[in-house]
Amino acid sequence: PGGGWTTTRPPGSAGVARDPFDGMRQVRDLYDRVLQLHRDLGLVESGPVAEVEVDRDGCEAQGAAEVQSLDKHVAQHQGLHSAMRAVGLELRSSDVLVEVGAGRGRLALGLLQRSSALPAGVVLVERDKARPRNTADAAIADLLADHFPRPSEKRPRRVEAPSPSTSPALLQRLELDVRHLDLGGVSMPGYSPSAGPSSFVVVCKHLCGVGADLAIHMVQRQKHLVRGLCFATCCHHHCQWEDYAGKTWWTESIGMAPADFALAAKCSSWASLRPEPAKDRDLASTRDSKALPSAIALQYAERRFFGRACKSLIDLGRVNGLRMSGFPSACLQRYCESGVTVENTALLAWQQQQQEQEHQEEQELAQELGEQEHQENQELAQEEEEQELEEQQQQQQQQEE
Ligand SMILES: C[S@@+](CC[C@H](N)C(=O)[O-])C[C@H]1O[C@@H](n2cnc3c(N)ncnc32)[C@H](O)[C@@H]1O
């Protein structure tokens, strides 16, 4: 691989540094530190061409021919479902599935189609007011309304509006920024927050950059309601420090500064650099060799690696943020081959069995206390009624006398 800085500037660096090498030196310095960190954290076996190592359990092998014949979205839904199932996040009938940054809602449909149990309801959260064409809403609502059997694998029907059989209560589409999502306010026919023991499973596919951080904060605020989450992250160059969910890890554990985060976020877009045609490569290397000291030049493979490494570091901070806030199981998983999408990392977190049990016991206790209170109220009302009746009888007796 050839090519250096002159063909691809550090994203967003145009016009920032007066000395053209200053910005490049900063990037080179960050590259060296990130490379060292990846070695220290055991994330790479060797050099820049090695794949970042994440837990591959639950990924279904997809050969090139298979990938070609499968719709890429379908392959991703399949991979995310496998990853969820591997950690016990297969949907249950007591769950409410929430897809954030839902777009057409196709991930929710894909998960429903692969699950042996249907959840009590589905909530699609999408910030954009313009509803996309061909949403999966009607197909989801039909599935929920029919409550089995599972249809065969197929792309959602073309629907512009929910079909007459749509039950808005089983499927809810909220036009909302995920940062304002109040899970406690969701109510379904088969579920209400006070009735327990239902719980939310929150998913997203490619909720860009900062959106994933906002979704993490939303889950952290309401973790008593969440059984687990599976977020396929993407577009890390849209992340911003103010909302980042892994600030403590970033600064205290790996000793990076907020400014490093901004640069890492920008450089993360190199993960999807396309191979340069040989012609451009030759030109670039000629220009580079004249313009750029080799100590700070980054080759094409190094830039691609650096982009992926920056994404991984940003995601690892998010994992740590979740681990620190009641999801000790949080981890990263590669859920499909990079030929399907380069954004193939999922962040998973789930309540441990013990936590789940405690949560369920708490809810049952609350329910019991609620029932007890109800019974006490009824007894009180009956006593009052009897007393009233007695008073009436006494009055009547006095009048007769
Ligand atoms: C790249 S699209 C992915 C759509 C869909 N999940 C898919 O895989 O096809 C990201 C979606 O997330 C939505 N989004 C981004 N930030 C959001 C936020 N803060 N709250 C809710 N939705 C958001 C966008 O409007 C967009 O529809």
Distance 309 CA to ligand 1 centre (A): 24
Residue 3 pLDDT = 33
C-beta neighbour count of 42 within 10 angstroms: 8
| Nearest residue to 206 via CA among 179, 233, 237, 238 | 233
Residue 306 pLDDT = 92
55: β partners: 333
Strands (E), 50-131: 95-100, 121-126
Query: What's the sign of the alpha-carbon dihedral 142, 146, 147, 151?
Result: negative
Structural contact between residues 76 and 335, judged by C-beta atoms closer than 8 angstroms = yes
| Nearest residue to 356 via CA among 182, 225, 185, 216 | 225
Q: With a cut of 60, say whether residue 385 has pLDDT above it.
A: yes
Assigned token pair, 218: 């939303």
Q: With a cut of 80, say whether residue 341 has pLDDT above it.
A: yes
CA distance 367 to 196: 8
Residue 285 pLDDT = 52
Residue 78 pLDDT = 92
Stretch 45-62: mean pLDDT? 42
Q: Which of 76, 208, 219 to mutate to test the pocket of ligand 1 (most atoms within 8 A of CB)?
A: 208
Distance 374 CA to ligand 1 centre (A): 43
Work out the mean pLDDT of the chain and round it to a whole number: 80
Structural contact between residues 113 and 153, judged by C-beta atoms closer than 8 angstroms = yes
Which residues, including other chains, have CB under 8 Å from residue 194's CB and lie 6 or more apart?
366, 370
Distance 123 CA to ligand 1 centre (A): 14
pLDDT digits (tens, 9 = 90+) for 235-249: 999 999 999 999 999
Which residues, including other chains, have CB under 8 Å from residue 162's CB and lie 6 or more apart?
137, 138, 141, 168, 171
Q: Which has more pLDDT, 25 or 152?
A: 25
* Residue with token string 């042996």: 116
| Nearest residue to 92 via CA among 165, 167, 191 | 191
Position in ligand 1 atom list of the atom nearest CA 204: 6
Q: Which of 126, 129, 174, 230 to mutate to test the pocket of ligand 1 (most atoms within 8 A of CB)?
A: 126
User: SS3 of 164, please?
Assistant: coil
Backbone angles phi, psi at 28, to 5 degrees: -60, -40
Cis-peptide into 275, omega within 30 deg: no
Q: With a cut of 90, say whether residue 103 has pLDDT above it.
A: yes
Atom 27 of ligand 1: nearest residue by CA position: 103
Q: With a cut of 60, say whether residue 104 has pLDDT above it.
A: yes
Which residues, including other chains, have CB under 8 Å from residue 52's CB and lie 6 or more apart?
38, 43, 44, 308, 309, 312
Ligand 1 lined by 205 (C-beta under 6 Å) = yes
- Binning pLDDT at 50, 70 and 90, where does residue 371 land? confident
pLDDT digits (tens, 9 = 90+) for 199-216: 899 999 999 999 999 999
Distance 38 CA to ligand 1 centre (A): 30
CA distance 126 to 131: 9
| Nearest residue to 140 via CA among 161, 152, 156, 129 | 156
Domain ranges across the chain? 20-94+198-351, 355-401
- Binning pLDDT at 50, 70 and 90, where does residue 355 land? low
- Binning pLDDT at 50, 70 and 90, where does residue 367 land? confident
Ligand 1 lined by 208 (C-beta under 6 Å) = yes
CA distance 217 to 178: 9
User: SS3 of 332, please?
Assistant: strand
Residue 245 pLDDT = 98
DSSP single-letter state for residue 26: H
Q: With a cut of 50, say whether residue 67 has pLDDT above it.
A: no
335-360 CB burial, b ≥16 within 10 A, e <16: bbbeebbebbbbbbbbbeeebbeebe
pLDDT digits (tens, 9 = 90+) for 223-278: 999 999 999 999 999 999 999 999 999 999 999 999 999 999 999 999 988 766 55
Assigned token pair, 56: 């591959």
pLDDT digits (tens, 9 = 90+) for 160-183: 344 444 444 689 999 999 999 999
CA distance 139 to 120: 16
Ligand 1 lined by 211 (C-beta under 6 Å) = yes
User: SS3 of 6, please?
Assistant: coil
Residue 99 Cα to chain centre, angstroms:
8
Strands 199-208 and 226-234, sheet pairing: parallel
Q: With a cut of 70, say whether residue 109 has pLDDT above it.
A: yes
Distance 206 CA to ligand 1 centre (A): 7
DSSP single-letter state for residue 88: T
CA distance 200 to 192: 11
Stretch 312-327: mean pLDDT? 95
